[in-house]
Amino acid sequence: MPKTIMVIGAGVVGLACARGLSMAGFDVLVTEQHAQIGTEVSGRNSGVIHAGIYYPTGSEKAKYC
């Protein structure tokens, strides 16, 4: 029986998650409050998704990014 997963938000992260789930065989429903995709936070930072690996060990940025 197929499983449908709802992804809330069509930003960079939401769409990447939706694609991965779809490729894994899930039915995916993406919802977005705006008329266009990528109009909120993950599409409006410096253009990258930060993993925290570039910051000094133990710093606040490394901890929260």
* Residue pLDDT, tens place only, 18-46: 999 999 999 999 999 999 988 876 656 66
pLDDT at 48 over 70: no
**Owner of token pair 């069509």:** 10
SS3 of 8, please?
A: strand
Nearest one of 64, 39, 33 to 50, comparing CA atoms: 64
Q: How many structural domains does the chain have?
A: 1
Region for residue 6 given its phi and psi (left: phi exceeds 0; alpha: psi -120 to 50; beta: otherwise): beta
**Where does the pLDDT of residue 3 fall: very low under 50, low under 70, confident under 90, or very high at 90 and above?**
confident
Q: Which domain holds residue 26?
A: 4-64
Calculate the average pLDDT of the chain.
Answer: 83
